[in-house]
Amino acid sequence: MSFGRMTRPVGLGLAVALGATLSLGVATAQAATATAKTSATETAATSVAAQRVKVYELVTKDGGFFYTASESEKQDAITKHGWSTTQTPLYYIARAPFAGGKPLYRLRWAKKASYIVTASVAERERLVTSGEFRYEGILGYAPGSADAGGDVKIFRLSNNNKWRLAIESHTEKILANEPGWKLDGPLLRQFSTGS
């Protein structure tokens, strides 16, 4: 009988010890998973930083505005089309999708070399469906919020079939000093640094 009594406590003790070991193993696995997620997030943030590219604004011969985040496309626009870069202060977007990032779509007006950038799929589709715009693809990926790393607000302005992008302080200067421009509204954000 005493053997039966010992078996229970030993069996129970073994179960408790085994449960504790398994719990410790689960906790260790959870900690490793959390560390891996943190590391993956840091790696993703680093890779987004490594993929940041400058946004350039150029003026077309038709007086429209053209935006690119490609150095080679910028050079082609200058050498092949005679377009010129502006001094409008713009910053950085990412080449590839990232957490909290949204695509920026570039469209060309069919009548002249004038371009519009939008972050809205509905607006993009409406413009393309109108037959007055041709979709040219994704300019890049911009932070949808400050939490996604976007520390510079970007706005879109329009003036008689011309569209511009501008940071907040430059938007105010355009509206105050360049007649005819009106504010279309905010257009996501940009990174203030390339890394």
Residue 43 is inside which H or E element, if any? helix 2-50
For residue 78, is it within any domain?
A: yes
Taking the complete model, does pTM exceed 0.85, yes or no? no
Q: How many domains does the chain have?
A: 1
For residue 121, is it within any domain?
A: yes
C-beta neighbour count of 73 within 10 angstroms: 14
| 133-143 and 115-118 strand pairing | unpaired
Look up the domain containing 112 and give its range: 46-191
For residue 81, is it within any domain?
A: yes
For residue 53, is it within any domain?
A: yes
Check pLDDT > 50 for residue 22: no
CA–CA separation, 184 and 65 (whole Å):
15
Q: How confident is the model at residue 195 (pLDDT cuts 50, 70, 90)?
A: confident
Check pLDDT > 60 for residue 37: no
pLDDT score at 151: 93
For residue 135, is it within any domain?
A: yes
Check pLDDT > 90 for residue 53: yes
Q: Within 51-103, where are the H helices?
A: 71-81
